[in-house]
Amino acid sequence: MEKKKNEKAIDHMNAKLKYEIAKELGLLEKVKRLGWKGLTAKETGRIGGVMTRRKKMMQEKSQQM
């Protein structure tokens, strides 16, 4: 049961991060209008790349503490 709660928290955090990055890249309106499937592969890749870098930075920060 504990694992499922943790997985849900991580999923929520990832979704929040994805929307935040889409907004920063100027893609949020397109996502709202067309959904995530309306993005091109290039746009999706940009979001994924930024997410990966941010997660890595957050992980490094937490290890330093």
**Cα four-point dihedral sign 60, 8, 41, 39:** negative
Give the pLDDT confidence score for residue 65 in this predicted structure: 76
Which tokens go with 10? Answer: 């991580």
Provide the token pair at 29. Answer: 């309106």
**31 close to 39: Cβ distance less than 8 angstroms:** yes
Give me the tens of pLDDT residue by residue for the chain, a chain 65 residues long.
Answer: 566 778 888 888 899 999 999 999 999 999 999 999 999 999 999 999 999 999 999 999 999 87
For residue 40, the model assigns a pLDDT of 98
